[in-house]
């Protein structure tokens, strides 16, 4: 049976793009931190199901919880970076992106004393406009990126990007997963899509993607926390952030029982030879 590369973007409830206007970066230190307990829940679930995962950790979070980073590594999971300040690459200059990413790598590297090989952009913000970010990642020693969503979405994605693991601009790209239904591409990787769809539908769609051995799932610690502070957001943002939170732990544990999971690093190691992307970016 094929495995799924499981991943978590370790950030807190107020770090997300949907909350940016209410909780800009300079306000974060005033917010209630809930990421530690929620990540501990994830670690407990993974141990119970003998699953391994990649944790893309925000540098700002790692600074506050270095013991959590160590614990994740000691449990046999992979430590990777989600940047430092959760700023969309679409809103950064090349220099700002380099500085932000380098800072996060240094923090994580100092904690685990091992190279940081993987990167995931905040809000999947590597698009055709920011594909230059891959060159910077390569120069910072990053081996693989898992930020490109091959879907049509107003905020992110490269719709015609190949749905397979392959080399591009000197790094290995591990794209997020979409399925095809009646000729339409639908995202099935995790996050809000996992919370929104009925579980049977998510599972069936994900199974259709597994033959190319590149299926990736992602979640965030705050998605397992129905008791997080409720913020009055515009209706679409509110829906994206809060849909399905109440039943998500049950759903997630069912998911862990239904598939086998590995780190992204492990998935790449057991992948066949890579081909270059035939995509104009
Ligand atoms: Zn994020």
Percent of the chain predicted with pLDDT > 90: 91
The helix (run of H) or strand (run of E) holding residue 180 is: strand 178-181
Mean pLDDT over 242-262 rounds to 97
The helix (run of H) or strand (run of E) holding residue 242 is: helix 235-242
User: What pLDDT is recorded for position 2?
Assistant: 86
Domain containing residue 172: 4-269
Q: CA geometry: angle at 259 spanning 257 and 261, to 5°? A: 105
Quickly state the pLDDT bin for 278 (edges 50, 70, 90): very low
174 found inside a domain: yes
User: What pLDDT is recorded for position 274?
Assistant: 66
Distance 203 CA to ligand 1 centre (A): 23
281 found inside a domain: no
Q: CA geometry: angle at 10 spanning 204 and 22, to 5°? A: 105
275 found inside a domain: no
Mean pLDDT over 255-261 rounds to 97
**Structurally, how many domains does the chain consist of?**
1
Distance 182 CA to ligand 1 centre (A): 30
Mean pLDDT over 56-75 rounds to 98
280 found inside a domain: no
Q: Provide the CATH number for the domain around residue 39.
A: 3.20.20.370
Quickly state the pLDDT bin for 153 (edges 50, 70, 90): confident
Least confident of 155-159, 168-172, 272-276: 272-276
Least confident of 39-43, 108-112, 145-149, 178-182: 178-182
274 found inside a domain: no
Distance 157 CA to ligand 1 centre (A): 15
276 found inside a domain: no
User: What pLDDT is recorded for position 279?
Assistant: 46
278 found inside a domain: no
Distance 13 CA to ligand 1 centre (A): 10
pLDDT digits (tens, 9 = 90+) for 238-251: 999 999 999 999 99
Distance 222 CA to ligand 1 centre (A): 11
235 found inside a domain: yes
Distance 87 CA to ligand 1 centre (A): 9
Who's near 269: CB < 8 A, 6+ residues apart? none
Who's near 135: CB < 8 A, 6+ residues apart? 169, 170
Distance 145 CA to ligand 1 centre (A): 14
Mean pLDDT over 265-276 rounds to 79
Distance 199 CA to ligand 1 centre (A): 23
- pTM for the model stands at 0.96
Mean pLDDT over 185-212 rounds to 95
Residue 51 pLDDT greater than 70, yes or no:
yes
How high is the mean pLDDT of the chain? 94
Distance 53 CA to ligand 1 centre (A): 16
- The whole-angstrom separation of Cα 115 and Cα 109 is 6
Distance 60 CA to ligand 1 centre (A): 12
Residue 276 pLDDT greater than 80, yes or no:
no
Distance 123 CA to ligand 1 centre (A): 6
Distance 184 CA to ligand 1 centre (A): 26
């Amino acid at each position: 049976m094929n495995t799924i590369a499981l991943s978590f973007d370790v950030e807190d409830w107020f770090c997300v793009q949907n909350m940016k206007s209410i909780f800009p970066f300079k306000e974060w230190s005033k917010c209630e931190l809930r990421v530690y307990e929620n990540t501990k829940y994830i670690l407990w679930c993974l141990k119970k199901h003998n699953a391994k995962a990649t944790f893309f950790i925000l540098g700002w979070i790692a600074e506050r919880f270095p013991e959590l980073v160590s614990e994740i590594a000691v449990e046999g999971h992979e430590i990777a970076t989600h940047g430092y300040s959760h700023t969309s690459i679409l809103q950064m200059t090349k220099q700002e992106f380099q500085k932000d990413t380098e800072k996060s790598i240094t923090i994580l590297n100092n904690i685990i004393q091992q190279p940081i090989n993987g990167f995931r952009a905040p809000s999947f913000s590597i698009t055709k406009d920011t594909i230059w970010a891959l060159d910077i990642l390569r120069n910072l020693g990053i081996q693989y990126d898992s930020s490109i969503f091959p879907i049509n979405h107003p905020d992110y994605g490269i719709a015609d990007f190949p749905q397979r693991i392959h080399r591009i601009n000197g790094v290995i790209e591990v794209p997020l997963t979409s399925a095809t239904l009646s000729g339409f591409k639908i995202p099935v990787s995790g996050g809000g899509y996992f919370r929104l769809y009925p579980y049977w539908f998510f599972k069936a769609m994900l199974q259709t993607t597994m033959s190319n051995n590149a299926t990736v799932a992602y979640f965030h610690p705050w998605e397992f926390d129905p008791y997080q502070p409720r913020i009055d957001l515009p209706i679409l943002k509110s829906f994206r952030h809060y849909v399905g939170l109440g039943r998500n732990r049950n759903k997630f544990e069912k998911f862990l029982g239904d598939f086998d999971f590995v780190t992204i690093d492990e998935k790449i190691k057991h992948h066949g030879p890579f081909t270059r992307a035939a995509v104009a970016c």
